[in-house]
């Protein structure tokens, strides 16, 4: 059995840095957890591990050279924490030509997040750069977000390709100064803010700028209809996004209630204000290119659409927008989409 989480000591690494020199076997079967946590160069090979916890504070920069492949074990007893978790570390980087493979198909049948509120809350981070990264999962894999951000500040994701079975990028409560640029998404559910209001005491969300290129999925803000927290989703800018036959390109949904796990009270506590969609072009796979469904008791305010040019890819001239309980303005938008 692959062991439980191994924690590194808060000191400067000493000695040889190649885990193969320490005795790790890159055969994809032997447990390499303790070797990975001792040193920070992963040579070519397939190294099977359980939970990896890199916990500081550290007295020096941490740079991991990943030229081999890290494989997550299918033994769930090996995960007392997240598979790979980094805490209290400043100036941390991973580079190289290897892969991080969670081997998701081994455990997908155990995923119940779509049926239950009891899913793990993520740790927080500050000043994070994700650049030139490729993330892949099959389109039918359950609840496989490419990148999920929660309780984090000043996060930049750029020049990255993501293919998943869920959100390519998911932005949760307590996220501020999030920038997404030059991201190619698909398959997947695009870039989503939320779900918001699922738990008590959630914090506000603001997205500084989102500029996706070549995305094949939509832009979505979603909050639970029976939200437990009073918070704001505000000051988002979505600029320069290309849609390619996307089912629902632009969505605000304050009545989100997946699999009927919430009560449909209609009394939202999540306010959605000052959201800008501009320079959004491409095609929709359904006639409903824009869907803005806001709460009766808490309408969306300050929603703007500028130069939004999305057309239904099917036969006929049936492109449409559906707007409920939403206030704002439009410019440079086709008549059928100008519902504000």
**Direct distance between the N- and C-terminal alpha carbons of the chain, in angstroms, rounded to an integer:** 58
CB within 8 A of 316, min separation 6: which ones? none
Strand partners, 301: 273
Count how many Cα atoms sit within 13 Å of the Cα of residue 126 in the half-sphere of its side chain. Answer: 3
Catalytic residue among 167, 189, 204, 253: 189
Q: How far is 160 from 198, CA to CA, in rounded Å?
A: 29
Q: Are 249 and 280 in contact (CB under 8 A)?
A: yes
Closest CA to 7 of 42, 48, 40, 38: 38
Residue 50 tokens read as 């359980």
Q: Specify whether 166 is catalytic.
A: yes
Closest CA to 212 of 145, 278, 294: 278
Q: What does the DSSP assignment read for 22-59?
A: HT---EEEEE-HHHHHH-SEE-SSEEEES-EEEE---S
Catalytic residue among 166, 167, 204, 253: 166
Q: Are 328 and 300 in contact (CB under 8 A)?
A: yes
Residue 126 tokens read as 């500050």
Q: Specify whether 189 is catalytic.
A: yes
Cβ density class 8-29: b for 16+ within 10 Å, e for less: beeeeeeeebebbeeebbbeee
Q: Using DSSP, state whether 189 is helix, strand or coil.
A: coil
As annotated, the active-site residues are 166, 189
């Amino acid at each position: 059995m692959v062991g439980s989480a191994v924690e590194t000591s808060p000191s400067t690494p000493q000695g040889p840095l190649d885990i193969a020199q320490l005795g790790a076997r890159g055969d994809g079967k032997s447990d390499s957890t303790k070797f990975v946590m001792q040193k920070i160069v992963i040579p070519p090979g397939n190294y099977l591990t359980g939970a990896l916890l890199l916990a500081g504070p550290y007295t020096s920069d941490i740079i991991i050279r990943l030229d081999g492949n890290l494989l997550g074990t299918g033994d769930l007893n090996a995960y007392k924490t997240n598979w790979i978790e980094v805490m209290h570390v400043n100036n941390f980087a991973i580079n190289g030509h290897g892969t991080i493979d969670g081997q998701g198909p081994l455990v997908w049948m155990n995923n119940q997040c779509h049926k239950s509120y009891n899913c793990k809350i993520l740790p927080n981070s500050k000043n994070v750069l994700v650049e030139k990264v490729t993330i892949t999962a099959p389109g039918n894999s359950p609840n496989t977000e490419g990148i999920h951000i929660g309780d984090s500040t000043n996060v930049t994701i750029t020049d990255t390709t993501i293919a998943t079975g869920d959100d390519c990028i998911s932005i949760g409560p307590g996220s501020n100064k999030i920038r997404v640029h030059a991201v190619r998404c698909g398959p997947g559910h695009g870039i989503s803010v939320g779900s918001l209001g699922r738990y008590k005491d959630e914090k506000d969300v603001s997205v500084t700028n989102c500029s996706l290129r070549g995305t094949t999925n939509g832009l979505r803000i979603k909050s639970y209809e029976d939200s437990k927290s009073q918070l704001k989703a505000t000051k988002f800018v979505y600029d320069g996004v290309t849609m390619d036959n996307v089912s629902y390109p632009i969505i605000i949904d304050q009545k989100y209630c997946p699999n009927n796990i919430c009560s449909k009270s209609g009394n939202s506590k999540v306010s959605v204000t000052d959201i800008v969609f501009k320079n959004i072009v491409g095609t929709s796979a359904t006639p409903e290119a824009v869907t803005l469904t806001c709460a009766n008791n808490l309408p969306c305010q300050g929603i703007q659409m500028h130069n939004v040019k999305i057309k239904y890819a099917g036969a006929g001239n049936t492109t449409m927008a559906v707007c409920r309980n939403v206030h704002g303005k439009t410019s440079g938008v086709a008549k059928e989409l100008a519902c504000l």
